[in-house]
Chain A
Amino acid sequence: MNKAIITVVGKDTVGIIARVCTYLAENQVNILDISQTIVQEYFNMMMIVDVNGAEKPFEEMAGDLEKLGEDIGVRIHCQREEIFTAMHRI
């Protein structure tokens, strides 16, 4: 499976998850896991997604999500999962 990690950090507002999920659904990206916390009024979310079915190339999606983040006023990163597993799993 080709997994990616999407992180969203920024000021909490209505509809952040909805807009990110809508984008993912439109692009055939399956969400495997979501965790979310609020730290000092800051919204902090992480999604693990399966990008196998996605039609767009990975870097285009990462770019789209970054732009979406700018619209909402939060920072969105989309990274391949391997960087996290490499660092945190032996």
Chain B
Amino acid sequence: MINIFEVNETNQMIERENLDVRTITMGISLLECCDSDLDALNEKIYRRITAQAKDLVATGEAIARDFGVPIVNKRISVTPIALIGGCACRKPEDFVTIAKTLDRAANDVGVNFIGGYSALVSKGMTQADENLIRSIPQALAATEKVCSSVNVGSTKTGLNMDAVRLMGEIVKETAEATKERDSLGCAKLVVFCNAPDDNPFMAGAFHGVTEADAIINVGVSGPGVVKEALKAARGQNFEVLCETIKKTAFKITRVGQLVAQEASKRLGVPFGIIDLSLAPTPAVGDSVAEILEEIGLEKVGAPGTTAALAMLNDQVKKGGVMASSYVGGLSGAFIPVSEDQGMIDAVTVGALSIEKLEAMTCVCSVGLDMIAIPGDTSASTIAGIIADEAAIGMVNQKTTAVRLIPVIGKGVGETAEFGGLLGYAPVIPVNRYSCEGFVGRGGRIPAPIHSFKN
């Protein structure tokens, strides 16, 4: 039988170390909504989402009460809208109407984000894909809860450099379109390489076409719990350190697994995957950077950071995979700058640069995430950063992503405020030399040699 020490350990994780289930994300297929009439399409999308997800928020809250563990976010991901809107949308403005429908549906069911305003263009763009991409700045400026993502490359297909160049411009336009709010629109826009179909975390969540009609994916978190556990391993060797991280990741993931199964049962929707990511929040102590510092770095960004992160990421996976049979999504450590107090501090004192962050993304689960850059950064430079990050994903057969915020009207040394879970970020310097000639070439970068496995 469970004893008092085990009960106290669990409750201490929840109460003092910010253990929570970060999100229950319901993936909803919109394929059945396709219609060549735009109004009919919008109506079908609205009805499909509000019918499928009507109990999502209430169920999430009931589960949180029953188990006494916070479930911070309830969210929805949908089939990439470029696929759904293709037959009805003739121009970018048509797609914006769908974004507004998604926003309305999200508001009416009470979720805090809806993802899937997306296009998958890793090899080529259809006219619909391009129209959707061109509508992103307007769509994100006109909505609150809609999140957008574009997959511009994969290990199998190589990099679609036309899409990369276009996304450089779109990120810039999105920043301009939301400049009164420190270019907040860009915080809801992710550019992927090797995007997973089942990621429950925003802003990159979408419901892939390989998925069922509806599915429950759960993202667990808990950087604070790992950090506290590591205090007990101070001064010990790597074997002890790794063991501690693995055990903690196991415990955290089991909570996610329990919540996912319960949500699946109560909602009558199949369980998809657990994403066992260490996702920081701006709350003190809920920081991946602080874990790295606990491991022995004076500040994140110091030499050794990449190795420490590689080890952390791997141990989190190793502990987590035993706790759930279906692990998917991104699963690893997130390093969003604005959402992690330790990262913010490291950037502020000059310990952490965008180049070091890029190196870190080679070994962790995502990419250059929530990084504020000067508002006058050119579209081609942003495209160059996207290309670099996508190349890392392509060659290393992993997901990488770019969520940069060129903060219009602000420069290095100033701070962008996004509010809530998105936090705030000091504007970080970017290399000023041009890559115009490179990103302007057009066409594709071929898939790497090791992708030919057939």
Contact = CB atoms under 8 A, between A and B. Distances in A.
Counting chain A residues whose Cβ lies within 8 A of the other chain, the interface size class is 20 to 34
Interface residues of B, number: 22
B7 A5 contact: yes
A82 B7 contact: no
A80 B69 CA distance: 10
B2 interface: yes
A59 B65 contact: yes
A79 interface: yes
Contacts of A84: 2, 6-7, 10
B159 interface: no
B67 A7 contact: no
A5 B11 CA distance: 11
Interface string B281-319: 000000000000000000000000000000000000000
Contacts of B11: 7, 77
6 contacts: A5-B7, A46-B4, A46-B7, A59-B65, A87-B255, A88-B2
B120 to A, nearest CB: 35
Interface string A48-89: 100000000011001000000000000001111111111111
Contacts of A33: 1
A35 B258 contact: no
Interface of A: 5, 7, 32-33, 35-37, 44, 46, 48, 58-59, 62, 77-89
B267 to A, nearest CB: 17
Given A7-B11, A44-B8, A88-B2, A79 B67 contact: yes
Interface centre among B4, B6, B254, B257 (most CB of A within 10 A): B4
Contacts of B66: 58-59, 62, 79-80
B62 interface: yes
A12 to B, nearest CB: 16
**Top 4 nearest A-B pairs by Cβ distance?**
A79-B68, A83-B67, A86-B258, A46-B4
Interface string B1-45: 111101111110000000000000000000000000000000000
A88 B258 CA distance: 12
Given A46-B4, A79-B67, 18 more contacts: A7-B8, A33-B1, A35-B4, A37-B4, A59-B62, A59-B65, A77-B68, A80-B66, A80-B67, A83-B68, A83-B69, A83-B258, A84-B2, A84-B10, A85-B2, A87-B251, A88-B6, A89-B2
Contact of B2 (A44, A77, A81): A81
A55 B439 CA distance: 68
Interface centre among A44, A87, A88 (most CB of B within 10 A): A87
Nearest to B3: A35
Nearest to B13: A87
Interface string B362-406: 000000000000000000000000000000000000000000000
A10 B65 CA distance: 21
A65 to B, nearest CB: 11
A21 B7 CA distance: 19
A16 B65 CA distance: 23
A78 to B, nearest CB: 8
Contacts of A7: 7-8, 11
Contacts of A58: 66
B258 A82 contact: yes
Given A7-B11, A77-B11, A87-B251, A48 B67 contact: no
Nearest to A90: B322
